[in-house]
Amino acid sequence: GTHTDGYFWVIVDERYDDLKNEDFDAIVDLIKKHATKLNITDVPIVFSTGTITTDSASISQVSMSSVDPYLVYRRPITGGIAHCVLNETGYNVGTIGFAAKRNSDNANGYVFAGHTSWFRTGLQSYQPTYASGNLAGTVSKIGANTDAAFVPYSNVAAQIHTGGGNFVNVDGYYSGGISGMVLKRSGRITVSVTGSYLGVLTGQLVDGHYMDRIELMTPVCSVGDSGGPVYATYNNRNKIVGITCAAALLTNGQQAAIYIPCGEVMPKLSITPLTV
């Protein structure tokens, strides 16, 4: 059926837990085939799970899980929405950081965590999940000694999804955090959180990958948050500070989130965040 936000809603009976990617591809292809007959060329699709209760061979009730706003198909692409990157054996899931333009030719695109694409170029990124019709470009650059990747993609916007289907404009950016700074983060697992800047470290190994410079904030992040935007809001203006990298356990026992500051992301990807 259709959802009030305008996308096509597919409810999959949660008892069928062995569906594969090709099964979802077939469903998408079927929907788009019928849409074409109606001269509809753009069909945003969201998959959800539910339980169908039947009575005398007729459907009497449908109870369904709510649609996760991070997992909605969204164009233009913004920061703070889910995506995944596919390789030869599977895929990694993450969150898109922010829209940007490539300095060499002003081509639009978006930034996310490099480890989501196994620190490799040439892999395809899908938003929100892997399915035909959800392709959102190919990774063209990985930053050296950091955790950032860039995908050229024309249909992007200078906004951040802050959870619940709400968006804010990106008004600017900072090179990184400073002492006492209140930081916000948006990710598909921990959703929208507010925390504090903790500090900076240089020359660190993070999950076996050497990083020139990382910064730390509270609260801790989770798998799936990787790549999501870290930003600060002052005087109702929202400025990108970096992108989420990984969780950390500090020597004092405190849990924290590692993020890559814009001062690392921008020169190593040769990009500039898009702003309004």
For residue 49, the SS3 value is strand
List CB contacts of 17: < 8 A, sequence separation 6 or more.
Answer: none
Taking only the tens place, the pLDDT of each residue in 26-67 is 677 777 776 777 666 666 676 665 554 444 444 334 443 457
Are β-strands 182-187 and 229-234 bridged in parallel, bridged antiparallel, or unpaired?
antiparallel
Contacts of 206 (CB under 8 A, 6+ apart): 147, 214, 245, 246, 258
Q: Would you call 169 helix, strand, or coil by DSSP?
A: strand
Burial 27-40 (b: 16+ CB within 10 A, else e): bbeebbeeeeeeee
Q: Please write the tens of the pLDDT for every residue from 160-179.
A: 999 999 999 999 999 999 99
Encoded tokens for 99: 């829209």
- Evaluate the omega torsion of the peptide bond into residue 152 and state whether it is cis, within 30 degrees of 0: no
CA angle 178, 184, 188 (to 5 degrees): 140
Condensed to tens digits (0 to 9), the pLDDT of residues 81-130 reads 999 999 999 999 999 999 999 999 999 999 999 999 999 999 999 999 99
The residue among 54 and 223 whose pLDDT is bigger is 223
What pLDDT sits at residue 51? 54
Nearest partner of 148 among 122, 117, 123, 188, judged by Cα: 117
- As a dihedral over the C-alpha atoms of residue 74, residue 231, residue 272, residue 96, rounded to 10 degrees, the angle is -30
Q: Residue 236: pLDDT above 80?
A: yes
What 3 state SS string does 177-221 have?
A: CCCCCEEEEEECCCEEEEEEEEEEEEEEEECCEEEEEEEEECCCC
**Residues contacting 203, CB < 8 A, separation 6+:** 210, 211, 212
Name the pLDDT band for 10 (thresholds 50, 70, 90): confident
The single-letter code of the amino acid at 218 is T
Question: Token pair of 101, please?
Answer: 């333009």
- d(Cα 146, Cα 32) in Å, to the nearest integer? 39
Say how many residues make up the chain. Answer: 276
Reported pTM? 0.79
How far lies 242's CA from each of 47, 134, 176, 197, in Å?
30, 26, 7, 12
Residue 211 has a CB neighbour count (10 Å cut-off) of 21
- SS3 state at 70: helix
